[in-house]
Structure 1
Amino acid sequence: MIKTVALVSLSAGTIGEDFVKHEVNIGLKRLEQFGLHVKIMPHAMKGIEYVKNHPKERANDLLAAICDEEVDMILCAIGGDDTYRLLPYLFKNNELKEAIEKAEKRKIFLGFSDTTMNHLMLHKLGFGTFYGQSFLADVCEMEDDMLPYTKKFFEELIKTGNIKEIVPSDVWYEERTDWSESAVGTERTKHENEGFQLLQGKPVFAGKILGGCLESMYDIFDNSRYPDTISLCEKYNLFPSLEDWRGKILLLETSEEQPDPKHYRKMVETLKKVGVFDVVSGVICGKPMNELYFDEYKKIIVDVIDNPNISVVANINIGHATPRCIIPFGIEAEVDAVNQKIRFA
């Protein structure tokens, strides 16, 4: 049972801005209604500019949350685009490793999007994490309650410390275009959801799941966004080795940037060049936001992998399309497209 949650801004400092104050207040109240005590880490609410310019302080917040014996769960505020900048402050002098070793209990770590970088950082040290939801994107939902499918998994995680199985959501929601205070209480537009879609390969496959936001993983090999991403990520060996990927299930989902098919192909081809598709047991793909380019993405992933023996299942309710489930990393999983379930050991 989770009792105390540490709220961290490891990427963007959005929750410190006035324009989201109404959302933050909703989210904090909801966490309290779950019976949770919330610890807002010292720099989490400093705002976008401060957080952007102080990666060391972001790293310190993570280290402090890991070492705080009251904290049961570390909840990421939101994603962003420069989480890789925490690497020197977590690995140069083994700061993250020592914090994990000193902690008397293992914390639950939950986040998605650019938090993919943090998941990979913690994975390097054998720290299992949970992918799929964040404070601002999910707990702060402006409907009268969290979206039911999303809430189901969040409640399961805080009550049991784990996720047993995932089934598809009956519906999916269009992303909001109005985030103002006047939109509080308004419902999202929803559509019927089709369930998990087997694109190729065996319908049942197993392995530990790892991956996340495709754009974040692509940034490890590309300097288009920031000039030092490749050098920093190489220096600290952020991307797992092929031996580490062997037998795992690769999770891929796309961000709110909604990459066009040409860019999506380029990013997937980059993972192919690295050799990931030669060693994984299968691939699961999140539904893209608003289903934009969904048909194109499905054709591209099959075309680029170019191996019909690799199982690929799409339309998982994870990542940037709502609602969102939560996927444990580092736990044996079985994907069953026939029975529309992902089960965890």
Structure 2
Amino acid sequence: MVNKIGIVSLSSGILGESFIKHELEIGKERLNKYGIEIEFLPNALKGVDFIKNHPESRADDLLTAFKDDSIDMILCAIGGDDTYRLLPYLFENNELENIVKQKIFLGFSDTTINHFMLNKVGVRTFYGQAFLTDVCELSNEMLPYTKKYFEELITTGKIKEVRPSDVWYQEREDFSENAVGTDMEKYTNDGFELLSGKPVFKGKILGGCLESIYYVFDNTRFNDTVSVCSKYNLFPKLEDWKNKILLLETSEEKPAPELFRKMINTIKKYGIFDVLSGVLVGKPQNETYYDEYRKILLEEISNKDLSVVYNLNIGHATPRCIIPFGVDAEVDVCRQVIVFNY
């Protein structure tokens, strides 16, 4: 049972900006209704500019949250684009490894990189939701599917199984106070889709946002992502991916099909698709490029024995489930379920 949540801004500092104060208040009220104490780590609310210019302060917050035994769960405010900058402050002198302990860590998007950091030091984490995007949802309640998994995590500390959502939502464009209490348009969801391979497969899951993973291998966004990530051996070695399941999902930037193909090919060159037991792919936001991405996955993943499952409700398409990393999982597309064995 989670009694206290520590909220961290490890990527973007938007949580500290005045224009989202109404969202912040909604989130605080919802967590308080669960009887959960909330602690915003010292730098979490210092705003976009401070957070951008002080990666060492972001790293301090993460270390503080792990050191504080009263904090049961570390919840990321939101994603962003440069959390790789925390690497030197967490790994130069084994800072993270020296203090880390197993506790709930939840986030998605650029937080993918933080999941890889924690994977390096043996911590099992949870992927798929964040404070601002999910707990602070502007509807009168958290989205039912999202809420179900969040409640399971805060009450049991685990996720037992994941099934598809019955619906998916058109993303909000208005996050102002005027949008409080308004609902998003929703559509029928089709469930898990097997693109290739066997419908049943097993393995521990790791992965996240495709763009975040791509920038580990490519300097398009920042000129030092490749050198920094490689210096600290962020991305697991090929042998460490053997019999694992890779999770991939795309961001709200809705990458054009040409870029999607390039990103898939970049990780393909690493050799990863030759050693995995399966791949899980999230629904693209608003189903933009749904068919194009599907076609590219079929064309570029040349290992046709590899199980590839599409259309998971995870990451940047709402609603969102939560997927445990580092836990034995069995995917069964026939039964439309992923079961986790702790």
TM-score, normalised relative to structure 2? 0.99
Distance 1:243 1:218 in 2: 19
> Displacement of 1:62 after TM fit?
0.1
After superposition, residues 47-196 of structure 1 pair within 5 angstroms as 47-100=47-100, 103=101, 106-196=102-192
> Partner amino acid for 1:36?
I
Alignment of 1:8 with 2:8, yes or no, is: yes
> Displacement of 1:19 after TM fit?
1.0
Distance 2:34 2:238 in 1: 41
Alignment of 1:303 with 2:299, yes or no, is: yes
Question: Counterpart of 1:277?
Answer: 273
Question: Counterpart of 2:21?
Answer: 21
> Partner amino acid for 1:115?
T
> Partner amino acid for 1:81?
D
Partner-residue secondary structure (3-state), 2:315 = coil
> Partner amino acid for 2:181?
G
Distance 2:43 2:174 in 1: 27
Distance 1:24 1:180 in 2: 12
Q: Which deviations, in whole Å up to 9, do the C-alpha atoms of 1:51-98 show, x marking residues without a partner?
A: 000000000000000000100000000000000000000000000001
> Displacement of 1:172 after TM fit?
0.2
Partner-residue secondary structure (3-state), 1:11 = coil
Alignment of 1:334 with 2:334, yes or no, is: no
> Partner amino acid for 1:311?
S
> Displacement of 1:317 after TM fit?
0.4
Distance 1:31 1:259 in 2: 34
Partner-residue secondary structure (3-state), 2:329 = strand
Partner-residue secondary structure (3-state), 2:217 = coil
Partner-residue secondary structure (3-state), 1:143 = coil
> Displacement of 1:302 after TM fit?
1.6
> Displacement of 1:307 after TM fit?
1.6
> Displacement of 1:107 after TM fit?
1.2
Partner-residue secondary structure (3-state), 1:259 = coil
Question: Counterpart of 2:203?
Answer: 207
> Partner amino acid for 1:214?
L
Q: Which deviations, in whole Å up to 9, do the C-alpha atoms of 1:203-246 show, x marking residues without a partner?
A: 00010000000000000011111111011001000011011111
Question: Counterpart of 1:35?
Answer: 35
> Partner amino acid for 2:71?
V
Question: Counterpart of 1:227?
Answer: 223
> Displacement of 1:33 after TM fit?
0.8
Alignment of 1:316 with 2:331, yes or no, is: no
> Partner amino acid for 2:264?
V
Partner-residue secondary structure (3-state), 1:61 = helix
TM-score, normalised relative to structure 1? 0.98
Alignment of 1:236 with 2:207, yes or no, is: no
Distance 1:28 1:245 in 2: 38
Distance 1:222 1:20 in 2: 32
Question: Counterpart of 1:252?
Answer: 248
> Partner amino acid for 2:132?
L
Distance 1:243 1:72 in 2: 32
> Partner amino acid for 1:138?
D
> Partner amino acid for 2:276?
V
Root mean square deviation, CA, Å = 0.5
Distance 1:287 1:167 in 2: 14
Q: Which runs of 4+ in 1 moved over 3 A?
A: none
Q: Which deviations, in whole Å up to 9, do the C-alpha atoms of 1:255-292 show, x marking residues without a partner?
A: 00100000000000000001110100010000010000
Structure 2 runs not aligned, ≥5 long: none
Q: Percent identity?
A: 64
> Displacement of 1:186 after TM fit?
0.3
> Partner amino acid for 1:87?
L
Distance 1:224 1:49 in 2: 22
Question: Which of 246, 257, 260 is the matching residue for 1:261?
Answer: 257
> Displacement of 1:35 after TM fit?
1.2
Question: Counterpart of 2:44?
Answer: 44
Partner-residue secondary structure (3-state), 1:220 = helix
Structure 1 runs not aligned, ≥5 long: none
